[in-house]
Amino acid sequence: MTRYAYRQRGHANLHPVDARLNLPPEKQSHGLRRRAALEAARGSFDGAADAIGRGCGQTIGKRQLEQLAASAAVDFDGFYTTRVAVAADPDDVLVLSVDGKGIVMRPGALRDQTAKAAASAKLATRLSKGEKRNRKRMATVAAVYDTAPVPRTPAQIIRAPAATNETNPTDGPHAINKWLYASVVHDAATVISRVFDEAERRDPDHQRTWDALVDGNNHQIDRLFAEAVRRGIDLHVVCDFVHVLEYLWKAAWSFHDEGDPTAETWVADKATEILKGHATRVAAAIRRKATYHQLSRDQRANADRTAAYLSNKAALLDYPTALAAGWPIATGIIEGACRHLVKDRMDITGARWGLPGAEAILKLRALRCNDDFDDYWRFHLTQEHRRTHQDRYTDHPIPTAA
């Protein structure tokens, strides 16, 4: 095929055949770019380079791979802005969940406060007592999904180990139409705004029940409520019940020897009371028990911490309403997302990330988790054609094949 071009005075050459074939401006083809995006999102850049070499016979460097991954993810936001929402049952609950996960960054990619803390280390060769490495930047991870309500009772959630004649535990609501998102560049407020955009895409008229699951992070809770108020949404926020259980187990060791089987019964009793809506009553009982047994300050520290958590979050521990309405009360979806989107890829031994590379990998992994990569890639190629070729042919039509 003969490659030809024509030129307009004052402008770069135009290559109509390149435009018709949608050739990228770089030397790597779109096929190789797609393979690079998939492999870089799957595992380490070294592993991605090896996989491309085995599959294509093409040698490609780590820096090139990182650049290709970053360019492959540029249309992520535009893709989901134009994406048609999946139809859901109007009675399904619309669930939002947000969490955070740290990523080890290069020094220049840390937020100002973290970088300042890292620079203030007392010793150059090791950490002093109470110091942290301060080398991580927090990525905000979010999920939106639909779920059919499954009403339950406290006895179907948890029971004492010795109980044999009570109702057996039952499966809770199952997530469908799951959408995941993560960003290490944007702050929590921006990510939560994106979460509400996705939720409103599914329920633009706010006719469904909106439920937000959190682990107790005050900043995230404040941002969720602020965004809900701004958009006029009646949002129910519920704290993860598994986090409550973890607090109860910590408190249990203030009153029981390590490994004491009676601690299980104590935790189950207190958890059942909390599921019945008596969080503040449980908090008061824990404090009284610590005082009655005259525990020292250190001995009762976890008990007091648990009581404070239950008291402070009492308004978000309305489990009777959640269980009766069939809402989920655990953040397993977002915990799994933090592990899969962030930890499994970004926490590879020795990895140190820059912002563009980390953000691109998070987006590419989210696309794969959402089963949207193929659709996204078609959208991306269309946008690449517009940016690279179509916008330059304002006064000249792109020739079509003969």
pLDDT in single tens digits along all 402 residues of the chain: 444 455 555 556 767 777 777 777 777 888 888 998 999 999 888 888 888 888 887 788 888 888 889 999 999 999 998 887 777 888 999 999 999 999 988 888 787 777 777 666 666 667 666 556 668 889 999 999 999 999 999 999 987 776 655 555 567 789 999 999 999 999 999 999 999 999 999 999 999 999 999 998 999 999 999 999 999 999 999 999 999 999 999 999 999 988 888 999 999 999 999 999 999 999 999 999 999 999 999 999 999 999 999 999 999 999 999 999 999 999 989 999 999 899 999 888 888 888 999 999 999 999 999 999 999 999 999 998 888 777 776 665 655 544
Integer-rounded Cα Rg, in Å, for the chain is: 26
Burial environment of residue 311 by CB neighbours within 10 A (0 to 12, 13 to 18, 19 or more): middle
How big, in percent rounded to 5, are the helix, strand and coil portions of the chain?
50, 10, 35
Burial environment of residue 123 by CB neighbours within 10 A (0 to 12, 13 to 18, 19 or more): exposed
One-character DSSP codes across 47-82: HHHHHHHHHH-----HHHHHHHHHHHTTTHHHHHHH
Residues 6+ apart with CB under 8 A from 37: 68, 69, 72, 73, 364
Distances (CA, A) of 339 to 190, 271, 360: 21, 26, 17
What 3-state class would DSSP assign to 268?
A: helix
CA angle 285, 161, 258 (to 5 degrees): 65
Distance CA 227, CA 146 (A): 20
Annotated domain spans of the chain: 1-83+372-402, 87-238+330-336, 243-314
pTM of the model: 0.84
**DSSP H or E run through 179:** strand 176-183
